[in-house]
């Protein structure tokens, strides 16, 4: 079943690497730890076992491991984590995953809604605004709806049993607004 059709936010301007002087708005970097974005455990580090196989996505932010600063100064650093069957991952996606856990940008590439829904029948992310769907087992490629490109992927690794970034975003972070040129992203 799909979760409630509720987005946390609407489209906001896209950040750029030039804003990197503000650590909270700096894009995720290698070795950043991942922490819960919301709820009772907001700000706590996420362990591999916190991401349950087959469950709907968790929302996370990267955290600088040296300063402890959570990079929540822009929505574009918001991540969705999900644990899917490792055997079903494409080769490229498996290379970024920890077991079957994968991480992607949590902002829809269409007009920037948060990716809050999860279709348990197909194991796909779904955007609540215009029902774009993304396949987490295959690089979050678009498999339905108007989204113009896939969600950017964040490669993962484990550090002392906790989830961490193994690199920067791969792919284009950001979204397209109707009637405007596609807004740029943090990647290519
Ligand atoms: S904002 Fe996600 S489908 Fe339109």
**C-beta of 147 in contact with ligand 1 (< 6 A):** yes
* pLDDT higher than 90, residue 13: no
178 falls in which pLDDT band (50, 70, 90)?
A: low
Mind listing the pLDDT tens digit for each residue in 64-106?
999 999 999 999 999 999 999 999 999 999 999 999 999 999 9
128 found inside a domain? yes
Determine if ligand 1 sits within 6 Å of the CB of residue 111. Answer: yes
Q: How many helices (H) and strands (E) does the chain have?
A: 1, 11
Domains in the chain: how many in total?
1
Domain containing 59: what range?
23-165
Q: Is residue 59 part of a domain?
A: yes
Whether residue 174 is contained in a domain is answered as: no
* Closest Cα to atom 3 of ligand 1: 130
Q: What is the CATH number of the domain that holds 118?
A: 2.102.10.10
The residue contributing the CA closest to ligand 1 atom 1 is 111
Residue 185 included in any domain: no
Would you say the CB of residue 108 lies under 6 angstroms from ligand 1? yes
Whole-structure pTM value: 0.86
Beta strand pairing call for 153-154 and 101-105: antiparallel
> Quick check: is 8 in a domain?
no
* Opening angle at CA 61, ends 1 and 119, nearest 5: 10
Most ligand 1 atoms within 8 A of CB, residue of 12, 126, 129 to mutate: 129
Query: What's the pLDDT tens digit per position in 128-158?
Result: 999 999 999 999 999 999 999 999 999 999 9
């Amino acid at each position: 079943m799909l979760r409630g059709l509720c987005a946390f936010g609407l489209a906001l301007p896209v950040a750029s690497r030039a804003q990197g002087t503000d650590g909270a708005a700096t894009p995720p970097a290698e070795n950043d730890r991942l922490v819960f974005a919301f709820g009772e455990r907001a700000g706590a580090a996420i362990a591999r076992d916190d991401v349950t196989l087959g469950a709907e996505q968790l929302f996370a932010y990267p955290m600088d491991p040296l300063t402890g600063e959570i990079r929540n100064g822009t929505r574009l650093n918001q991540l969705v984590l999900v644990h899917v069957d490792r055997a079903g991952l494409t080769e490229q996606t498996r290379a970024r995953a920890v077991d079957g856990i994968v991480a992607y940008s949590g902002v829809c590439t269409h007009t920037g809604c948060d990716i809050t829904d999860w279709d348990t029948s197909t194991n796909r992310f779904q955007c609540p605004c215009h029902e774009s769907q993304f396949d987490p087992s295959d690089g979050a490629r678009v498999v339905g709806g108007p989204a113009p490109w896939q969600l950017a992927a964040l490669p993962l690794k484990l550090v002392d049993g906790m989830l961490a970034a193994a690199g920067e975003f791969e792919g284009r972070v950001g979204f397209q607004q109707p009637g405007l040129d596609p807004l740029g992203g943090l990647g290519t």
